[in-house]
Amino acid sequence: MKLKKQYICTVLLILTLGVVSSGFASDKILSRWSKTNHYENDLGNELWITATYYASEYVEALVQSEAEKNLWTADEAEQYKYQLLKTLNLTEYIPIFIGIDNRGPSMHMAPFSDHITLWVGKKKLQPVDYDKRFNFKLQGKRDGFIYFPRYDEKGKPVLQGVKSIRLAINGNVSPITMGKTIDYIWDVVDDNPEKLYTGKAAARLELDRLIKRLEKLNDQKKELEGKLAEVESELQQVQKRVEELQRQ
């Protein structure tokens, strides 16, 4: 009996250590890609700005962390991953999440796209889309996604062969950071978003894409059928007129 109790305690201890170790690893990965800058002026006003780059290992760690936190089943974790990948749209964009906590004078950032730049080597990228709430005067907290193009105008991946990227926010958006540069640097050389597109979540995303493609093809088919009907109608009219003339 005593041996049985000791065995159960040992198993529980191993399982607990496994969970703690796994959680610690996830936290370490999450903190590597999510960086916070803190600023303070002479009046005691403070500003925190967090920027998160959604690297493939960050996405995997985030899914794992949320699954452990919420005690999700494998299907629930896949559903979360599916929704996350749908929001990120990594096949087209480089998404970066910005979180601001401003405990000082109002920030003025409109248009936000003019105040934020992603440097990829010597290339200067501007957002193709972003949360428009960043354009409004801000005191307190606000967060949202900024999307940069993943491909250049020739269709070449902008991150190909790149070791690191730098996100720069104009410090003049806040009196606290006036004249300063707000920078975030990530090492992206080993990042590979393609490996995220496996399993059920990837299959659902592929299904979504194919359904949209089907809708587009059906629209094109209707358009072509309409044009064909017009041509056939005109053909009949011409044929009828030809026959009329031949009878004269």
Across the 248 residues of the chain, what is the mean pLDDT of every consecutive 10-residue run?
Answer: 53 47 76 96 96 96 94 94 94 96 96 96 94 97 97 93 96 95 95 86 84 91 94 94 90
What DSSP character marks residue 216? Answer: H
Q: Specify the pairing of strand 164-170 against strand 138-149.
A: unpaired
Q: What is the pLDDT of residue 24?
A: 66
Rounded to 10°, the helix 74-88/56-70 angle is 140
- Residue 126 C-beta-side C-alpha neighbours within 13 Å: 5
Predicted TM-score (pTM) of the model is 0.76
Cα(183)–Cα(162) distance, rounded to whole angstroms?
18
Measure the CA–CA gap between 141 and 17, rounded to whole angstroms.
36
Asked whether the beta carbons of 119 and 151 are under 8 A apart, the reply is no
Question: 146 phi and psi, to 5 degrees?
Answer: -120, 135
Alpha-carbon 75 to chain mean position: 22
Dist CA 19 CA 2 (whole Å): 26
**Cα(166)–Cα(187) distance, integer angstroms:** 9
3-class DSSP assignment, residue 248: coil
DSSP string, 84-102: HHHHH-TTTEEEEEEEEEE
Dihedral sign computed on CA atoms, order 66, 69, 74, 79: negative
